[in-house]
Structure 1
Amino acid sequence: YLDHAGSALYAESHIKSVANDLCTNTFSNPHSNSSTSRLCSDIIDQVRYRILQHFGTDSNEYCVIFTSGATGAINLVAESFLWSNVESVAEFVYTEDNHTSVLGMRSLASDRGASRVRCLSHDEAYRLLSRSRGGAGDTPGGCRTSLDGNSLFVYPAQSNFSGLKYPLSWIQKVQSGALDFCSNWYCLLDAASYVSTNRLDLSVYKPDFVCLSFYKLFGYPTGLGALLVRNSSAGLLRKRYYGGGTVLIALSSHMFHVPRPLLHERLEDGTINFLSVIALQHGFNVFEKLVGTMDKVSMHTFGLARYTFKKLSRLHHFNGNPAVILYVDTQYDDPNTQGNVVNFNLLRPNGDYIGYAEVLHLANLRNIQLRTGCFCNPGACRRHLSLSVEDLKSHFRAGHVCGDDRDLVNGKPTGTVRVSFGYYNTKSDADRLIATIKDCFCTQEGSEFVKMDTAQSSRCIYQLFNDRCLPVHTDGELIVDCFDRPSE
């Protein structure tokens, strides 16, 4: 299983522990006032504390808002962030390497007060934020003395495309005006990919908002995430909609309501997914028993990624041409800058790309689970594949959309192959992947590859080994057979 960045594998002991708890105890809606409700509420409070403890902080510094996932947390910030009044300066700035959920914030930011929306390229972000102090131009340059606008910067702690770990020092630099001095700057850190294999210490780095999904960490439960809000920035979230138990009073006949005073009480609309929250308690218990510390997980998964990177980089065809093209931002020499991801495409002996759909089909036959495409990160995908905006539009006009198997357009890849490691992976998992690529895609002298479609709805991949041929048909079922090499 090599798709930890997609979702972690849940532990058997975790599921058994949750099932035993649910069968032994009765939990009811925490908005009720029964004994079973109070039991549920008490455990939810304990889980909030456990989450903050896991990230090196407490309720004096941060608040936990339960959401449907990292995307739900991002959406909550987008809909609630207090940008500015009409005359103030407010910007929404994000890095090119970001999840599509962040791109979805742009229209809300523009509609609700952001005077400018801009995307920082990879190089531009490093150039602006590598400075030790000061902002763009290092002068206020026409800004008013009073900073009444609020600006927001969003970036991932770790790229889900390449596994690059971005500097967490950017948080404080942005908050101090590294992008400009014209407004008050706040930071939303997308930690979904990062926290699955790394320790995020909020006692050292203090973003205003942090989004995450718990299935990336434990595998179960799904559909549950959190927005961690720094208490000093809580006043910036002014949600318009309210529902469920988020109010002290609401009148049906008049436009009057009073929100609850605690942040999580007024931002968690309706009844939270309380049984899944209870499952988190068991997730933390099992996780700590199995792996110990996140630092161990970080080093272990980095080591596997580094090993895989080095092995793949050495694979060649019989004619000396490389069999693999790797999409990297580091050379896998430092766990502080590189995470658990290896991203690549495969090449034929003549240098032509092998589509990621072919790789996925062969991996499925070998029972290797991996991910292909752009991983909901169009910016990083475009940069690493050296695609222009017009290229992407051309691919769309040709019929390629997110999540399909149109892996090549005019011979050029529309996506890549990604493998990612979790705490449960071993060196043998990496070796199995490498052996599969070597056996199925690295040709020896006298071998050749032929690819053809047997029908519009069917895909057939032929790998020729001298006088024998292995056909792989994927049309609802997988069939593997051998036959004599066809005549010319």
Structure 2
Amino acid sequence: MSDSITHVPSEYRSTWILDTLRRTDYARLERSGETYVDFMGGALYPESLIKVHTDFLSRSVMGNTHSVSNSSKLSLKCADEARAAVLSFFKAPPEYTVVFTANATGALKLVGESFPFTGGSSYVLGTDSHNSIHGIREYATYKGARVCYIQSTPNGGFDLSSAKVNNIILRNRPRSRELAPSLFALTGQSNISNSKNPLSIIEYAAELGYSTLLDAAALAPTSAFSLKEHPVDAMAISFYKMFGFPTGVGALVVKKSFLAQLKRPWFSGGTVDVVQVPGTLVTRAHEMHEQFEAKLQPNGDMLPNSFIEYSASKQYISLRTGCMCNPGAAAAMLGIQGDMEKLYPGVTLRDFENIVGRELGVVRISFGLASNFQDVWKVVRFAALIANERSRQELWDRWMESKAAQASIGRAI
């Protein structure tokens, strides 16, 4: 298989606008030879955005917004403009406002720690959710609320036409919105299965008396969304996943009436090692060396994620492996829901993998605005290398040699 493309199909020539954008704003991809296919993890920033922002910072003096100095007034003006731009982009009615956070996780945590759960409350969510959505169950459980899961289909997300799905939402509806506030959390687009849940369920849950929370971290960068059409109580977004820059900025787009109900006094993606879904067990994250004995041979049914990631890096391909901080959907896709029931307090990821007998997770390849046909071709070529027994064995041998070398260095230290 050739490294270069000798003929580009005619239908791809219609993407000349994106090709021009690739040459101007993302030329560093060609210079580095890197094929970036992890847009679900974080977008690549356009170079023009960096230049404009750098120019703005170089000629502006920004101060703390909680003051009346000229620099503070400028910061406040910019923040207000940004807030208005976010509301306009999502077509938000006047009853919405924006709370800027460090990221989407910070926005979800704000809701979780502040929501007025009680002993009669319910927290309803799907198993195909990010850990930041699962983490809210800690606040709900601590305050005595019920946690109810909607099971994921093998392809991710859930089937709205299923009577069981509707029954879970209906059976756990709040008996009193004032005395037992309940929360329904919807993942707009899965970060692991790419499935999109039906947004119409937001209105259904609201009619039953739930407060509604939408995780739009993956949805917002890929789809047009209108808060006028889908008036969710609160929506979490990440600007890093939308634009790639700046990092450390997300937002909670929220109804002012809902914000007034919150009483601010979790666990999330990067703070846990194992999350049982459905279930209650959580092992907090701790530093551990990812050294595994290879249990599957190259000609077996499954290949270790670490082998795939190693081999991809040698081809200068940046992809993602693992459970994507979404243990519920990963368990459904890998067919290990039953193994979730075997977990015990304090279990680590390595312990869990020993129970199952292999490394856990999937391989995620996600394309974005800066992707072109060459990127797709390179990924297809890499898949062909893995599929070919001879080339796969060569990659396997190199991987095993690298593991042996790392182990030798470890013993020497």
TM-score (norm 2): 0.73
**1:398–1:148 CA distance, 2 compared to 1 (3 A):** closer
Amino acid at match of 1:51: V
Does residue 414 (structure 1) correspond to residue 364 (structure 2)? The answer is no
Report the equivalent of 2:4: none
The 3-state SS of whatever aligns with 2:335 is: coil
Q: Quote the Cα distance in structure 2 between the aligned partners of 1:22 and 1:381.
A: 43
**1:50–1:447 CA distance, 2 compared to 1 (3 A):** closer
Structure having the larger proportion of residues in strand: 1
Does residue 8 (structure 1) correspond to residue 33 (structure 2)? The answer is no
1:423-473 CA-partner distances (Å, limit 9, x unpaired): 11112211101112213432369988865744866469xxxxxxxxxxxxx
Does residue 357 (structure 1) correspond to residue 306 (structure 2)? The answer is yes
Report the equivalent of 2:385: 439
Q: Quote the Cα distance in structure 1 between the aligned partners of 2:386 and 2:175.
A: 64
Using the TM superposition, give the Cα deviation of residue 155 of structure 1 relative to its aligned residue in structure 2, in angstroms.
2.1
Report the equivalent of 2:205: 174
Q: Quote the Cα distance in structure 2 between the aligned partners of 1:172 and 1:81.
A: 20
Report the equivalent of 1:110: 141
1:2-57 CA-partner distances (Å, limit 9, x unpaired): 00011000111111111110111111111111011111101110100000111112
Q: Is the CA contact (8 Å cut-off) linking 1:5 and 1:193 kept in structure 2?
A: yes
Report the equivalent of 2:152: 122
Does residue 26 (structure 1) correspond to residue 83 (structure 2)? The answer is no
Q: Is the CA contact (8 Å cut-off) linking 2:217 and 2:238 kept in structure 1?
A: yes
Q: Is the CA contact (8 Å cut-off) linking 1:90 and 1:150 kept in structure 2?
A: yes
Aligned residue among 162, 178, 183 for 2:193: 162
| Unaligned runs of at least 5 residues, structure 1 | 178-183, 241-346, 461-473, 477-488
Using the TM superposition, give the Cα deviation of residue 352 of structure 1 relative to its aligned residue in structure 2, in angstroms.
2.5
Amino acid at match of 2:219: Y
Using the TM superposition, give the Cα deviation of residue 355 of structure 1 relative to its aligned residue in structure 2, in angstroms.
1.1
Amino acid at match of 1:27: M
Amino acid at match of 2:381: A
**1:13–1:65 CA distance, 2 compared to 1 (3 A):** same
Q: Quote the Cα distance in structure 2 between the aligned partners of 1:70 and 1:359.
A: 29
Aligned residue among 93, 110, 114 for 1:80: 114
Q: Is the CA contact (8 Å cut-off) linking 2:307 and 2:396 kept in structure 1?
A: no
**1:352–1:151 CA distance, 2 compared to 1 (3 A):** same
Does residue 185 (structure 1) correspond to residue 206 (structure 2)? The answer is no
Q: Quote the Cα distance in structure 2 between the aligned partners of 1:412 and 1:140.
A: 37
Q: Is the CA contact (8 Å cut-off) linking 2:128 and 2:152 kept in structure 1?
A: yes
Report the equivalent of 1:317: none
Q: Quote the Cα distance in structure 1 between the aligned partners of 2:237 and 2:116.
A: 22
The 3-state SS of whatever aligns with 1:119 is: strand
Report the equivalent of 1:423: 369
Q: Quote the Cα distance in structure 2 between the aligned partners of 1:445 and 1:413.
A: 22
Structure having the larger proportion of residues in helix: 2
Report the equivalent of 1:216: 241
| Unaligned runs of at least 5 residues, structure 2 | 1-35, 266-295
Report the equivalent of 1:384: 333
Does residue 64 (structure 1) correspond to residue 98 (structure 2)? The answer is yes
Amino acid at match of 2:106: G
Q: Quote the Cα distance in structure 2 between the aligned partners of 1:161 and 1:29.
A: 39
Q: Is the CA contact (8 Å cut-off) linking 2:177 and 2:210 kept in structure 1?
A: no
**1:475–1:226 CA distance, 2 compared to 1 (3 A):** farther
Q: Is the CA contact (8 Å cut-off) linking 1:352 and 1:411 kept in structure 2?
A: no
Q: Quote the Cα distance in structure 2 between the aligned partners of 1:385 and 1:104.
A: 22
1:121-140 pair list within 5 angstroms: 121-122=151-152, 126=158
Amino acid at match of 1:8: A
Amino acid at match of 1:189: L
Does residue 40 (structure 1) correspond to residue 75 (structure 2)? The answer is yes
Q: Quote the Cα distance in structure 2 between the aligned partners of 1:64 and 1:217.
A: 16
Q: Is the CA contact (8 Å cut-off) linking 1:10 and 1:220 kept in structure 2?
A: yes
Report the equivalent of 1:246: none
Using the TM superposition, give the Cα deviation of residue 231 of structure 1 relative to its aligned residue in structure 2, in angstroms.
2.8
The number of residue pairs the alignment matches comes to: 339
**1:447–1:416 CA distance, 2 compared to 1 (3 A):** closer
Report the equivalent of 2:32: none
The 3-state SS of whatever aligns with 2:254 is: strand
Report the equivalent of 1:266: none
Amino acid at match of 2:350: H
1:239-269 CA-partner distances (Å, limit 9, x unpaired): 23xxxxxxxxxxxxxxxxxxxxxxxxxxxxx
1:139-179 CA-partner distances (Å, limit 9, x unpaired): 899x86886321101121000001001111111011112xx
Moved more, 118-127 or 14-23: 118-127
**1:359–1:79 CA distance, 2 compared to 1 (3 A):** same
Q: Is the CA contact (8 Å cut-off) linking 2:150 and 2:168 kept in structure 1?
A: no
Q: Quote the Cα distance in structure 1 between the aligned partners of 2:230 and 2:192.
A: 23
1:360-379 pair list within 5 angstroms: 360-379=309-328
With CA pairs under 8 Å and 6+ residues apart, which has the higher RCO, 1 or 2?
2
**1:144–1:436 CA distance, 2 compared to 1 (3 A):** closer
Amino acid at match of 2:127: E
State percent identity of aligned pairs.
33
The 3-state SS of whatever aligns with 1:226 is: strand
Using the TM superposition, give the Cα deviation of residue 361 of structure 1 relative to its aligned residue in structure 2, in angstroms.
1.0
**1:137–1:385 CA distance, 2 compared to 1 (3 A):** closer
Q: Quote the Cα distance in structure 1 between the aligned partners of 2:254 and 2:306.
A: 40
Amino acid at match of 1:43: C
Does residue 94 (structure 1) correspond to residue 125 (structure 2)? The answer is yes
Q: Quote the Cα distance in structure 1 between the aligned partners of 2:169 and 2:188.
A: 26
C-alpha root-mean-square deviation of aligned residues, in Å?
3.5
Q: Is the CA contact (8 Å cut-off) linking 1:129 and 1:173 kept in structure 2?
A: no
1:336-381 CA-partner distances (Å, limit 9, x unpaired): xxxxxxxxxxx98854211111111111111111001111111111
Q: Is the CA contact (8 Å cut-off) linking 1:174 and 1:185 kept in structure 2?
A: yes
Q: Which has the larger radius of gyration?
A: 1
The 3-state SS of whatever aligns with 2:182 is: strand
**1:367–1:83 CA distance, 2 compared to 1 (3 A):** same
Q: Quote the Cα distance in structure 1 between the aligned partners of 2:343 and 2:171.
A: 39
